[in-house]
Structure 1
Amino acid sequence: MAKQASKNDLSFDFDFLEKLVVGIGEVSQITGIPTRQIRYWEEKNIITSLTEEEGKNRRYNYENIKKMLLIKELTDEGYTLDASAEKVKKRMEMIEETLNKLKNRK
């Protein structure tokens, strides 16, 4: 009988998350953050889209989406945008370190 992965299974496919890329409209739908606000955050260099050329559709990966959700959570709690971005930067470093440890356990 094949083992079925559960929602709490630590062997979750992290490769999938690394390959996930969506457009700005989809990010807005997923996160509830207006596209205008996402563009503003990008102008302030708080987030970076994967799009390198001017005028091309903005594309974002899982890391960017997670970062946006964390920033939104903190700004909703009353933190300034700059303070939120700094706190999120530190959190993202910790998350990345943890994910790398989990990947290496395979």
Structure 2
Amino acid sequence: MSDGKLSYKEKKVITIGIVSEITGLSQRQIRYYEERNLIFPERTERGTRKYSFSDIEILGDIADKIEEGVQTFEIRKDMIKKAKGKQTREDVNKMIRGQLNAHFNIRK
């Protein structure tokens, strides 16, 4: 988001119990995926896990891949690869915007 605010999909406000109900995964499965660094909930001061709608989508993708026989380390490897690709595209876009701004003498 350009104004620094998270979209509703990124806000971590959903408890593990609700996530379990929505996804059909057990709370133990969800915690396991966290242990395997596939999902990253926030924690309240009391340690309660909080998830976002995006996290729920990721958990659904993880569950589908596990059902297909994909191992968690393979899922993690794929997630890292995708994150690097996304960052690279963002870096290229920033560079291009900078070059265009310099060429057309646009000041922010």
TM-score by length of 2: 0.60
Work out the number of aligned pairs and report it.
85
- Tell me the secondary structure at the aligned position of residue 9 of structure 2: helix
- Superposition deviation, residue 18 in structure 1: 3.0
- Tell me the secondary structure at the aligned position of residue 17 of structure 1: coil
TM-score by length of 1: 0.61
Runs of at least 5 residues in structure 2 that lack an aligned partner in the other structure = 1-5, 90-108
Residues 91 and 63 of structure 1: CA distance in aligned 2, closer, same or farther (over 3 Å): farther
Q: 2:45 aligned with 1:45, yes or no? A: no
- Superposition deviation, residue 90 in structure 1: 4.7
| TM superposition outliers: structure 1 runs of 4+ over 4 Å | 88-95
Aligned with 1:17 (options 6, 9, 14):
9
Q: Which residue of structure 2 aligns with residue 56 of structure 1?
A: 47
Distance (whole Å) between structure 2 residues aligned to residue 20 and residue 45 of structure 1: 17
- Tell me the secondary structure at the aligned position of residue 38 of structure 2: coil
- Identity across the alignment (%): 33
Cα RMSD after superposing both structures = 2.9
